[in-house]
Amino acid sequence: MPRRNEPYPLSQSQARRIWLRAQRLDTPAPFGEGPAATAAAVEHLGYVQIDTINVIERCHHHILYSRIPAYRRADLRQAQSVDKSVFEYWTHALSYVPSRDFRYFMPLMREHRREGHRWYASVKPADTRKVMRLIKAGPLTIRDIEDDVLTEKEHLWHSRKPSKHALELAFYVGALAVSERNGMLKTYELMTRHFGWDKPPKAASATEVSAYRLDRALRSQGLVSLDSICHLDAPSKPAVRRIIEARVRKKELLPVALDGAGRQEHWVRPEVLEAGGEGAGPIVHILSPFDPLVIQRKRTELIFGYGHKFEAYVPKAKRVFGYFALPVLVDDEIVAALDLRADRQNRKLLMQKWNWVGHGKAARGDGRQQLKRRIEEELQRFEKFQLADENAEESPLRT
């Protein structure tokens, strides 16, 4: 045991066990099944990232499938549009977040309302008035607005429709909610009408938002650092650190010295260390590159010894893992990265490239063959999920 006030020493294998348990990737079906399982998974993880790439199933469905083996795409639609237990907003990226957490996002909405949004500085007040006038008659999509005068794109991924920019700005300031998605086509609705509010919830204070960020990370990561709590949000670090220091003084958090982390500080709740426990059971997960276990690349490399490379925007000749490589978790090790593509027309899951990494690369003979067999068994199940006809996406593959 360490001396009083010294950080608790933690090995990478212990860190992996803590993180996998927090991410609910160490046991099968930790949330059950059905729409309630989807809501429970989003609430536990704190967010599920949304992304447009459709080479295989979109990442929000994929992330949920990794924790809900019986997941159906309709379950997320039910949670968003009927039960309204989740809603869309910005975390470190556009994400599904629990509706119970809405008040913690209101300060950012108010900031955008007060100071504007740097992505939508060119939106004209007349365009905003137009879309708000139209949406008062009922929910609409950008396809319902046909009288736009198209403009030049300000960015490669921007739309030429002024009304689309106005809808998105109204979403970020909290006036509109995304009430439904069909593929990546969003239906917008008045926020208050979507949730049935007479008045919105009370906004969280700045201190409450900082505590929320810390608690969300502790729940879904188990072992936290300032970087992992404040991912892509460096300005929030000083306020979060103050709360961490207060909790350490109260012994609600313990500092740990993670092997290989150098001077980077980490903390855990005491009960996490006390729980101990065995490593992950016999599980195999083919993960999305946007999965919370992988999205913080430096953290994944520190704890798993695996540096994921997202190469969709890398020139083909310079790719190592492939266009859309998926990390493969076997028990508590990332052992491979598979570049897959769903050929929906011919109903096949195509293997573009198989890369062994980490323990998988070091394995030889029967060990390598056993790993390959287990991954191939999971690929069969993964293919069935990928090619299910339910709520098929409308957008073409990006290749």
The pLDDT confidence band at residue 280, using thresholds 50, 70 and 90, is low
Q: Dump pLDDT digits (tens) for 213-245.
A: 999 999 999 999 999 999 999 999 999 999 999
pLDDT at 82: 97
What pLDDT shows up at residue 116? 93
Is the pLDDT at 390 greater than 90? The verdict is no
Q: What per-residue confidence (pLDDT) applies to 161?
A: 87
pLDDT digits over 144-153, tens only?
A: 998 877 676 6
Asked if residue 276 has pLDDT above 80, the reply is no
In angstroms, the CA 231 to CA 295 distance is 10
Instruction: Please give the distance of CA 29 from its chain centroid, rounded to a whole number.
Output: 18
pLDDT at 387 over 80: yes
Q: Tell me how far apart the alpha carbons of residues 275 and 56 are, in angstroms, rounded to a whole number.
A: 37
pLDDT at 4: 56
Nearest to 321 by CA among 302, 334, 340, 304: 340
For position 334, what pLDDT does the model report? 98
pLDDT at 182: 92
pLDDT tens readout for residues 293-319: 999 999 999 999 999 999 999 999 999
Confidence (pLDDT) at 160:
76
Q: How far apart are CA 96 and CA 177, in angstroms?
A: 12
State CA 196 to chain mean position distance. 27
Beta bridge partners of 266: 256
**What are the angstrom distances between the C-alpha of 9 and each of 51, 114, 223, 266?**
37, 46, 12, 10
Say whether pLDDT at 157 is over 70.
no
- Of 153-162, 209-218, 280-289, least confident by mean pLDDT is 153-162
Mean pLDDT of the chain: 93
Burial of 108 (0-12, 13-18, 19+ CB in 10 A): middle
Given this model, what pLDDT does residue 392 score? 46
